[in-house]
A and B are shown apart, each in its own frame.
Chain A
């Protein structure tokens, strides 16, 4: 299902769409309050953007530097060219431990690589430990938002889900009781699983350490109780120096949820005594995107989700309508790089209003890239046939004045005398819109008449 169809389905429930819209806008407002409280906010964004630009221009050297320092610290570094190799590496580590159960904290990369289904096929049970991710996992869904995975779920529905899976009392929809039920259930997993996977927010080349940010403490509960910690990261997560964390940690959570910092910003430098620590570097199309001059800035993304919370299309279409691990405006410029055919619809799921670019903490020109992708996709024959035909028809009309005038006349006549021809369910322009009053004449006709008098 393409974005437009999925969005239409999502919009069938008007009240729910409004609720989704307002919830995300509320998060956006929290972000504004946090950002406006920092006088140097714009300077921070610019600095972050420049650091990331330097990272892109030196990425190979930083990866080598990180690898050297991480190895010195006792961390094993793996390299995966694509999603499949990443999944194989993770499975081989699990096999070497003889383990068939594990815990995983939030990692959009493992979503991108479809690690969970791969491990399930190979007889490994993965428990997602972030509360939101656990909820969508129990429901058999992917997350709909990179920071707020179950933002599309209502508490009553979570109550039903938990009643079924965790045995909470029927009808219980209290967020405190539900959260604490999940806490009890997941604590048992933390205490019994020997392998923990985490994502990576930042990896510091200079020191070989990596930073994981959570509010729940689930990354730490997993990693510090497990014999083996596997951290999976896209290669663009590298930053050059430790001092750069000062810039990024000030921007990340303020942009994401409006908090001044996450509860935990954990710096993993060495495995604890007796523990194994692995890092998996993943390319999976990133080096290709690096070579696309007009799109490479998308690799600066620090996954805060601010562009989603502000996007009028995301807020009213829901994350699942983007059919990609990363939804929203940033997902729509990352996804076509992975698969142009499958994701050709996504750059069109935008009004190009530019709000995403305005809130982006690393100043990615998201809306400009959406516009660029539309051109690339259309030129390479990936735009939908109906759109191509209608654009060609429009071009023919607009390039011929006589045809243009005639079309206008037909249009006005139709709207005045036979509105049902255009105002019907086959014409998307009239969905949830009132018919405008058709003008009696065109400006050209009016001008000719008034000039001659």
Chain B
């Protein structure tokens, strides 16, 4: 009922058709995409760890996250964590200390990383963990959001997110606090 009423009211009241503008790309102003990505992500509270290979990531995790519950769906790191979490109730991820996931690509202008449900393993994983680590290849960084959506194209996903740094809030007197509801820290393993 309301559907038809609303659609009829829109049809009656809408202005004359105006065309969609063409979306420009505005080019790439960054000499070094990885450097730009790193500097922006660091400025917004993330941490960037430059690594050569998976072994370096393993060593880093063992050094910094020993004793914590670690979840990952990355086969290269499977010795570090179990895969059984993938089919568990998402509420059971509540005590995860570190989630290590693959990021599809990074965006230089804002330090964000595009991750879809496929890489997340579980939708809740990147949000519920105390620390989120995303693996991003240096060669997989695009300049701006226009390039990001060109790259995503018409890909089908159930859920996807640009993630830029740790969860944060400045609701109390504009004082920035990391770790609002999601991860208290977020790091990107920037890999050669």
Contacts and interface: CB of A to CB of B under 8 A. Distances in A.
Contacts of B6: 63, 79, 81, 235, 281, 283, 287
A80 interface: yes
Contacts of A290: 9-10, 13-15
18 contacts: A23-B174, A43-B26, A51-B20, A56-B15, A135-B172, A148-B174, A176-B177, A186-B181, A215-B167, A215-B170, A215-B180, A216-B182, A220-B127, A224-B123, A235-B10, A240-B20, A263-B44, A264-B164
Contacts, number: 246
A108 to B, nearest CB: 16
Interface residues of A, number: 90
A272 B159 contact: yes
Give chain B's interface residue range (CB within 8 Å of chain A): 35 or more
Given A183-B181, A283-B2, A261 B23 contact: no
B124 A215 contact: no
B175 interface: yes
Contacts of A81: 2, 5-6
Question: Which of B19, B90, B144, B170: most chain A CB closer than 10 A?
Answer: B170
Interface string B143-185: 0111011101010111111111111111111110101111100
Nearest to B4: A79
Contacts of B29: 39
Main secondary structure of the interface of B (DSSP, over half): loop
A293 B15 contact: yes
A292 to B, nearest CB: 8
A249 B144 contact: no
Contact of B94 (A191, A235, A245, A266): A191
B171 A80 contact: no
A175 B162 CA distance: 27
Of all A-B residue pairs in the complex, the 8 with the closest CB atoms, nearest first, are A217-B182, A291-B13, A216-B180, A287-B9, A260-B110, A132-B171, A175-B175, A270-B158
A257 B110 CA distance: 14
Contact of B16 (A57, A129, A267): A57
A179 B180 contact: yes
Interface string B16-39: 111111011010010000000000
Interface string A209-249: 00000011110110111000000000100001111111101
Interface in A157-182: 158, 175-176, 178-180
Nearest to A177: B177
Nearest to A158: B172
